[in-house]
Amino acid sequence: MGLEIDGKKINEAVKTIVDYGGDGILNCVQCGACSAVCPGVRAGMPVLCRLLIRRILNGQLEETIEEMSTWACQSCNRCTEICPQGVRPQEVVFAFRRYQANDLAISTSAFGPLMSFYETGHAVTVKDAAEKREQVGLDGNPPTSLNDEEAQKELQALLDASPMGELGIF
Amino acid sequence: MPKIGVYVCHCGSNIAGVVDVEAVRDFAEELPDVAVSRKTLFMCSDAGQEMIKQDIRDGIVDRVVVAACTPRTHEPIFRKALESAGLNKYLFEMANIRDQDSWVHANDKEGATEKAKKLLASAVGKSRGLEPLEDKYVEVTPNALVIGGGVAGIFSALELADMGYKTYVVEKEPSIGGVMAQLDKTFPTNDCSACILTPVMVEAGTHPNIELMTYSEVQEVDGFIGNFKVKVRKKQTYVDWNKCTGCGACAEACPAKVPDEFNAGLNNRGAAYIHFPQAVPKKAVVDMEHCINCAGREIGQEPKISKKTGKPRYAPCEKACPAEAINRSLEYDPKGEIVELDVGTIIVATGYQVMGKENFKEMAPDSPNVITALQLERLISATGPTDGKFLRPSDNEKPKTVTFVSCMGSRDVNFHTYCSRICCMYMIKQARLLKEKYPDLNINMHFIDVRCAGKDYDEYYVGARKMGINIFKGKVGGLETLPQDRLRVMAYDMESCTPIEYDSDLVVLATAVELPETAKKLGQTVGVQFCGANFFKEMHPKLGPVETSTGGVFLAGCCQGPKDIPDSVAQGKGAAASAAVPLAQGRVTIEPLISEVDQDKCSGCGICVPLCPYSAIKLREKDEKLRAAIDIAQCKGCGVCTSACPSGAITLHGYTEESIFNQIEALTS
């Protein structure tokens, strides 16, 4: 089956992404500079930046919902720095993730950081840094939720009550 | 009592699709002094104009109001219709019910109809106060000035000179030729740029009607169409051009080191230098800003006497000159010489510059092996810094892999949103020239799109693909520097959705075409407007491509927007044709819709003089008293003086007090 060009479907896809924060998407001229600098694309996750935007502009939201590439975005923001048209591709990727997350289409690759977030309040933990922090006279744990049981409990309550609670990973 | 004829136009469905034309016609019948009110499908058609003419001939109307599209394009047509029916053409008035009504209020038909009535009532009111007026004329100086001696300016000058008009060409560099003289070959025929340009430069240099003023800049422009007074500063050359033979001995002897502009900064020239080998005129200059005053030879001082030999010590340039054209003892004026020119028309052809690589931080601009495309032109040119040998700047080794990067600073909201138009084609040209000469060279070109609109251009591009040049769709994201000045290219192939990463020996950036700062200043001096992209603005994007909003000033070449050589030449010749019109007519018509001072009422207070934005008013002595007088050729009819005059002594013809009050009444009732 070839790509079916359906104006209504395209408008809906664009609106969904714009509403989720990817509001520069219509500026895109598909130059590909974002994908040239994207570490995710380089690591073999092709549906990021340029190709993700193309899919959305084709109206292929549902067809792409299970895509794992988007979860490989490292938020480095190089795409937004290089973009000559002010698209801010990283925002588009995040908007698409929000669309995915609302349907619980979350990559298993994201479960580890999510579980860590649930348990400690940090998606990426700092345990390897504890020793170095102590060497320079800081607490091993940063003064965030890691040190605050009350805050951790509040976060967990929020996550349990959110749609992500249904994932069954916490 | 005036007898006003009102004619309402449907403009097909442009007006009638929104405005109730019949209701507007009915409404007009009731307005004071309206003798007849008609409507038709197209007022500008022969039948529409005939309707007006017949009513005039029948004596039914003696003033005409047309409610239609816009006076911008159609006022001249209707004025002519009045004239041919024997009525003074300034007894015509137009209500703009299309551009300013039906087009902007397409969603509000009732509102648009009401607005059309008001606009028409206002026009009818104005027409009641109109008076017959006669055109005025001023004589024209039959000379032309071309500012800029690039390919567009040269062709403008040659056309005008061939038509018999004395033409001055002012060029800021020591030679004419512009950017085209820097190019190696030209697309899509691979003609040697110098081979096709040099004969034309020589023709311009020897034409009896052309006076070249190189190493000169326009400093001041006064006056108006037909009668411009231009002050040109001939910069100080410190070389007697009457004696200089262009042998280049001084340039060879000069020990100073200055980045050579002609070679795009790839090597150095002396402070004494000749612009380039085929320069016209081929004369040396001493660039005093960079001169190191060898042997203590300050300009204007007698030479020092050597203690050893007892003889005067001269600078190497003086000693080298076999024609005795350099004498540093002379007291040169560092400001040069001001020359005043009288010209009837001016063509601005100041050209362009390309952006420097330093603007693009992600493209390793500090690497010597990242160069602009203009630098590559010089690198492969036989008159360039390597005598045409293709060597990379870092170590003079022959590159094995070359990368071309498109759209650097063009199509980019951080720099210029426009497409620079020539880059795709010149990059393909450069790649083809390299591949022809070095078939083993690996050439990778990265484009957003390949834009090849032009005669024989796409065939040239397809030919490049057949030659084995690798072409990728996808903009390069960045360059990383590696040891030994090699470069890592971070690119992307959009067609296979795959990132590309490879090492390259030389990277060529197609940097954007833009208007240089010096040209911006000149634009203000001459009085041309700028467009959104910061080039000079033509009068109309389609129908006035060489004219400007200033009468008698025309545009040619890249100062009006990026364009290639064929388009620059075409526009240069087109500008010459337009600039010759007033020269051929011998006089220019001045619309009488300008201000006039009643000498009996004027008190000579002079309030109007500094208010006039066109410096058209001067106080002159009349019967031993000072009185304001308006130069008809400079007045643009803005009305500032009329409204400011405390004695009510100034009338703006076509906008009498009666007319204005009638309009206010109509619009506020």
Residue B139 in any domain: the answer is no
Q: Which helix (H) or strand (E) holds B122?
A: helix B109-128
Whether residues B621 and B476 fall in one domain = no
Q: What is the mean pLDDT of chain B?
A: 96
Whether residues A52 and A89 fall in one domain = yes
Nearest by CB: B499 against A31, A36, A85:
A36
Nearest CA in chain B to A27: B413
Are the Cβ atoms of B477 and A85 closer than 8 angstroms?
no
Whether residues B426 and B483 fall in one domain = yes
Identify all chain B residues contacting A50, using CB atoms and an 8 Å cutoff.
474, 492, 494
Residue A162 in any domain: the answer is yes
Residue A161 burial class via C-beta count within 10 angstroms: exposed 0-12, middle 13-18, buried 19 and up: exposed
Does residue B480 have a pLDDT over 80? yes
C-alpha distances (whole Å) from B669 to each of A13, B25, B117, B646 are 52, 18, 12, 29
Does residue B606 have a pLDDT over 80? yes
pLDDT tens digit string along B611-653?
998 889 999 998 889 999 998 888 889 999 999 999 999 999 9
Residue B19 pLDDT level (bands cut at 50, 70, 90): very high
Residue with tokens 């908007």: A95
- Would you give the DSSP letter of residue B301? S
Considering its fold, how many domains does chain A have in total?
2
Residue B306 in any domain: the answer is yes
Are the Cβ atoms of B448 and A32 closer than 8 angstroms?
yes
Whether residues B8 and B92 fall in one domain = yes
Does residue A144 have a pLDDT over 80? no
Q: Are B377 and B388 in contact (CB under 8 A)?
A: no
Nearest CA in chain B to A86: B413
Q: What pLDDT sits at residue A124? A: 76
Whether residues A65 and A88 fall in one domain = yes
Identify all chain B residues contacting A33, using CB atoms and an 8 Å cutoff.
474-477, 492
Whether residues A112 and A85 fall in one domain = no
Residue B498 pLDDT level (bands cut at 50, 70, 90): very high
Whether residues B268 and B303 fall in one domain = yes
Whether residues B468 and B550 fall in one domain = no
Which of A109-123, B284-298, B352-366 bottoms out in mean pLDDT, i.e. has the lowest? A109-123
Nearest by CB: B494 against A32, A81, A82:
A32
pLDDT tens digit string along B125-162?
999 999 999 999 999 999 999 999 999 999 999 999 99
Residue A2 in any domain: the answer is no
Whether residues B290 and B347 fall in one domain = no
Residue A53 in any domain: the answer is yes
Residues of the domain holding A114: 108-167
Q: What pLDDT sits at residue A113? A: 86
Question: Nearest CA to B7 among B20, B24, B19?
Answer: B24
Whether residues B301 and B413 fall in one domain = no
Residue B669 in any domain: the answer is no
* B413 interface with A at CB cutoff 8 Å: yes
CATH, residue B56: 3.40.50
Nearest CA in chain B to A52: B497
Are the Cβ atoms of A32 and B362 closer than 8 angstroms?
no
pLDDT tens digit string along B409-443?
999 999 999 999 999 999 999 999 999 999 999 99
pLDDT tens digit string along B44-64?
999 999 999 999 999 999 999
Whether residues B491 and B534 fall in one domain = no
Whether residues A65 and A131 fall in one domain = no
Residues of the domain holding B296: 236-335
The ipTM (two decimal places) reads 0.83
Question: Over pLDDT 70: what percentage of chain A?
Answer: 98
Are the Cβ atoms of A84 and B497 closer than 8 angstroms?
no
Burial pattern B495-513, b for ≥16 Cβ within 10 A else e, equals eebebbeeebbbbbbbbbb
Q: Taking the CA atoms of B384, B390, B391 and B397 in sequence, report the sign of the dihedral they define.
A: negative
Whether residues B607 and B524 fall in one domain = no
Nearest CA in chain A to B500: A36
The tokens of B272 are what?
């004494």
Q: Are strands B506-511 and B370-372 parallel, antiparallel or unpaired?
A: parallel
Mutation pick from A26, A27, A29, A31 vs chain B, by most beta carbons of B within 10 Å, is A31
Identify all chain A residues contacting B492, using CB atoms and an 8 Å cutoff.
32-33, 35-36, 41, 50
Is omega for the bond preceding B199 within 30 degrees of 0, making it cis?
A: no
Question: Nearest CA to B544 among B569, B564, B571, B520?
Answer: B571
Are the Cβ atoms of B475 and A36 closer than 8 angstroms?
yes
Choose the final residue of a domain: A62, A85, A102: A102
CATH, residue B434: 3.50.50.60
Whether residues A72 and A113 fall in one domain = no
Q: Number of Cβ pairs closer than 8 Å across A and B?
A: 67
Q: What pLDDT sits at residue A145? A: 74
Whether residues A93 and A14 fall in one domain = yes
The tokens of B63 are what?
């003033």
The tokens of B640 are what?
């500032």
Residue B276 in any domain: the answer is yes
Whether residues B155 and B166 fall in one domain = yes
Residue B662 in any domain: the answer is no
Angle between the N-to-C axes of helices B457-466 and B423-437, in degrees from 0 to 180, rounded to the nearest 10: 40
Whether residues A115 and A34 fall in one domain = no
Whether residues A122 and A149 fall in one domain = yes
The tokens of B335 are what?
């400001």
- Would you give the DSSP letter of residue B99? I
Whether residues B507 and B420 fall in one domain = yes
CA distance B109 to chain A (A): 30
Which of A82-86, A111-115, B365-369 bottoms out in mean pLDDT, i.e. has the lowest? A111-115
Burial pattern B112-149, b for ≥16 Cβ within 10 A else e, equals bbbbbbbbbbbbbbbbbbbeebeeeebebbbbbbbbbb
Residue B602 in any domain: the answer is yes
Nearest CA in chain A to B415: A84
Identify all chain A residues contacting B418, using CB atoms and an 8 Å cutoff.
none
Whether residues A16 and A57 fall in one domain = yes
Choose the final residue of a domain: B335, B367, B397: B335
Q: Are A168 and A104 in contact (CB under 8 A)?
A: no
Identify all chain A residues contacting B501, using CB atoms and an 8 Å cutoff.
42
Give the pLDDT mean for B464-486: 96
Choose the final residue of a domain: A70, A102, A134: A102
Residue A34 in any domain: the answer is yes
Are the Cβ atoms of B413 and A86 closer than 8 angstroms?
yes
CATH, residue B600: 3.30.70.20
Whether residues A18 and A91 fall in one domain = yes
Mutation pick from B410, B497, B504 vs chain A, by most beta carbons of A within 10 Å, is B497
> Bridge-partner residues for B509, per DSSP?
B372, B405
Amino acid letter at B393? P
Mutation pick from B360, B423, B480, B492 vs chain A, by most beta carbons of A within 10 Å, is B492
Give the pLDDT mean for B344-365: 98
* B492 interface with A at CB cutoff 8 Å: yes
Give the DSSP letter string of A115-131: HHHHHHS-SS--GGGHH
Considering its fold, how many domains does chain B have in total?
5
Whether residues B46 and B98 fall in one domain = yes
Residue B373 in any domain: the answer is yes
Does residue B661 have a pLDDT over 70? yes
Q: Write out residues 390-409 of B within 8 Å (CB-CB) of A.
A: 407
Residue B664 in any domain: the answer is no
Nearest by CB: A37 against B411, B473, B478:
B478
Does residue A64 have a pLDDT over 80? yes
CATH, residue A67: 1.10.1060.10
Are the Cβ atoms of B411 and A37 closer than 8 angstroms?
no
Question: Over pLDDT 70: what percentage of chain B?
Answer: 100
Q: What is the mean pLDDT of chain A?
A: 91
Choose the final residue of a domain: A80, A102, A124: A102
C-alpha distances (whole Å) from A164 to each of A104, A111, A170 are 7, 11, 9
Q: What pLDDT sits at residue A141? A: 77
Nearest CA in chain B to A35: B492
The predicted model scores a pTM of: 0.86
Are the Cβ atoms of B475 and A51 closer than 8 angstroms?
no
Give the pLDDT mean for B278-293: 97
Does residue A146 have a pLDDT over 80? no
DSSP three-state, residue B272: strand
Number of H helices, E strands in chain B: 17, 34
Whether residues A133 and A50 fall in one domain = no
Distance CA B428, CA B443 (A): 10
Residue A1 in any domain: the answer is no
Are the Cβ atoms of B490 and A36 closer than 8 angstroms?
yes
Nearest by CB: A35 against B411, B478, B499:
B499
Nearest by CB: B475 against A27, A33, A78:
A33
Residue A126 pLDDT level (bands cut at 50, 70, 90): low
pLDDT tens digit string along B515-539?
999 999 999 999 999 999 999 999 9
Give the DSSP letter string of A76-98: --HHHHH-TT---HHHHHHHHHH
CA distance B183 to chain A (A): 28
CA distance B470 to chain A (A): 17
DSSP three-state, residue B268: strand
Whether residues A14 and A79 fall in one domain = yes
Q: Which helix (H) or strand (E) holds B627?
A: strand B625-630
Nearest by CB: B411 against A32, A41, A84:
A84
